[in-house]
Chains A and B, each alone.
Chain A
Amino acid sequence: MKVLRITPERCTGCMRCELACSYMQTGTFQPAKSVIRISPFEAHTSYAPYTCTQCAEAWCLVACPVEAITISPVGAKVVQDDMCVGCKLCTIACPYGTIFYNPDTEKAFKCNLCEGNPACAEACPTAAIEYVEAQTTDWLGDFAATRSAGRLGLLPGQA
């Protein structure tokens, strides 16, 4: 299936993905409502976008007591708003921290791959986010570990 392939070395931290995502998901330009989130590394000189992997276990889906999370035709785990009661079991079950709760709507929300046309990938000016046929993997771990050495005080003269 097509997945969001993240190449963190290309990310400039411009946040266009967060703006595009929040606009697509909620109709407002509000990064706090984005389901893809940029993290800074190496004292804010390196960045990486982080979002749902659409994992095989689907921790959120199996945790839901009312079957409000389904799998869409493009393979995304999707919250059905009319079924979600807002109990938050999914947010504590997801070990990736990629399903959220919106206090305004009292519903859970997460990446649904924009029904096969992800706004984040379209908005990214450097192709750090691409929507391609690939095997999902940990796109960020090695990058973040390397770029964080200074933050951990492992390199002299950095913080």
Chain B
Amino acid sequence: MARTRHVIVGGGTAGMNAITTIRQYDRGASDIMLVSAERPYARMVLPYYLKGSISESHVYTASPSRLSALHVEAYLGRRAARLDTQASTLTLDDDTVLPYDNLLIATGSSPVRAPVPGADGQGIHSFWTLEQAQGVVRQMRPGSAVAMVGAGFIAFTILNALLSHGVKLSVVEIAPQILPRMIDQQGAEMVAQWLRDRGVAIRTSARLQAIEDAGSQKRLRFEGDADLLADCVIMATGIRTNLGWLDGSGVAINRGILVDAQQRSNIPNVYAAGDVAEGKDLISGQPAVHAIEPTAMEHGRVAGANMAGQPLAYRGSLLMNIVEVLGLEIASFGAWDSSTAEVFSATRPDRPAYRKLLWQGDRLIGAMLLGPEKDVWTSNDVGMLKGLVQTGSRLGDWKGYLQRNLFDIKRAYIASGITARLLPQTVLGSPSVPAGTVAVA
């Protein structure tokens, strides 16, 4: 029997998890070809590279020896150009044709810049790829003025790194609040105050009109607000999924590639994972594009298992984000912005701490948490809130308790038997194995 040919398009979190999972099951009994425009690395850790706390070598996720140990034929520096789902062939940008039995689309996202004159000019940076991160690293000078355009999750992941270089930072956001897709307005105001108290200038509802050259600097012009001068401009104005190359392929796309519980698209031997996939949201049960690392990881593992012939149904992805700025931890889960949920919220008078719990009946469907990372309860409760939302456990009388005691999650968690519900849960139906221990037989 001919060996199954798996083609993986994209070497990010989803693609690499799929490869490892295929090998976990088949121990080398198939051919795996990886097409990746870049040498695989972990995007999540680029902020630490910018900060200088890790070296460039630390960001890579698939060394040549790892790819070799997993018997992966790598096409690095190549992009997928055309997909023929009738013939089951993938054509690369150098006209190489790869026939496949199973294809995984995991091409991720690219940054989008604000649609204003000058946004594409010299000296305007994105912070998304390793190469772009290197570009920003070269611009870091103590005391220089840095303008961050956009105040979403991606922008916030690099604030600490920027400030550690001693730059003078201004953040401008078009929405009325910072972190608009991660926390509510009340939380955003607490975070903005925390940053202003530490010397970061913040403008919200800022309508950027143009970016112009001003000597060696850049001048950012706004509608109805003063100009801003900066030595370095970083654009963190959102991302767009890389799906354009699939035009005419027959793969069904809504906001992303629509996938079933096996991560399979409308074409039976074409799978999708990560930012490009629109799969089931655990809380709503509806198709959603999360574009977050944890969803990419689980998508990749589930796709890999199914591609390896292990029929496995995915329970769905839980939306979650966590970021820390100058010692303030910010996290949200699930349906944190639901407009129909019953909401409990509380702040603490003595420090910047805010909690919000969202309910459907006596089940927690979303949560938001904000507090100093030095508080013991902060990191403790982040995980427990995730467990409560993830299991969808009925909390009965503990709901009333949590309404009165939003800062005492632990008792409710332990007494509701969440541990008993979680212990049998695994994504692949078997104990997880460390990626580094997976090898061909």
Contact = CB atoms under 8 A, between A and B. Distances in A.
A50 B327 contact: no
B322 A89 contact: yes
B373 interface: yes
Interface stretch (A9-17, A98-106, A118-126): A98-106
B417 A142 contact: yes
Interface in A38-93: 39, 41, 48, 50, 53, 55-58, 61-63, 65-67, 69-71, 83, 85-89, 91-93
Given A39-B410, A106-B53, A152-B398, A95 B374 contact: no
Contact of A58 (B379, B417, B431): B431
With most chain A CB atoms within 10 A of its CB, the pick from B329, B409, B415, B416 is B415
B380 A37 contact: yes
B345 to A, nearest CB: 20
Interface string B345-381: 0000000000000000000000000000110100111
A138 B430 CA distance: 19
B293 A65 contact: yes
Contacts of B383: 91-99
The main secondary structure of chain B at its interface with chain A is helix
B318 to A, nearest CB: 9
Interface in B391-421: 391, 397-398, 400-401, 409-411, 413-420
Interface in B292-347: 293-294, 297, 301, 320-322, 324, 327, 329, 331, 333
B436 interface: yes
A67 B61 CA distance: 8
B414 A141 contact: yes
The main secondary structure of chain A at its interface with chain B is loop
Contacts of A137: 420, 423
Contacts of A103: 327, 373-374
Given A50-B410, A85-B58, A138-B420, A95 B45 contact: no
A69 B331 CA distance: 22
B417 A95 contact: no
B44 A56 contact: no
A88 B329 CA distance: 10
Contacts of B43: 65
Nearest to B414: A144
Contacts of B47: 87
A122 B230 CA distance: 59
Contacts, number: 168
Contact of B434 (A50, A70, A94, A148): A70
Contact of A100 (B379, B390, B436): B379
A48 B383 CA distance: 19
Nearest to A100: B379
A67 B419 contact: no
B432 interface: yes
B23 interface: no
A66 B58 contact: yes
Contacts of A7: none
A92 B387 contact: no
A114 interface: no
B386 A39 contact: no
Q: Which 8 interchain pairs have the tightest Cβ spacing?
A: A95-B387, A97-B383, A141-B417, A138-B420, A97-B384, A144-B415, A65-B42, A138-B419
16 contacts: A41-B415, A56-B426, A56-B431, A56-B432, A85-B45, A86-B48, A89-B322, A91-B382, A95-B384, A97-B382, A97-B386, A100-B379, A137-B420, A137-B423, A145-B415, A145-B416
Interface of A: 32, 37, 39, 41, 48, 50, 53, 55-58, 61-63, 65-67, 69-71, 83, 85-89, 91-101, 103, 106, 136-138, 140-142, 144-145, 147-148, 151-154
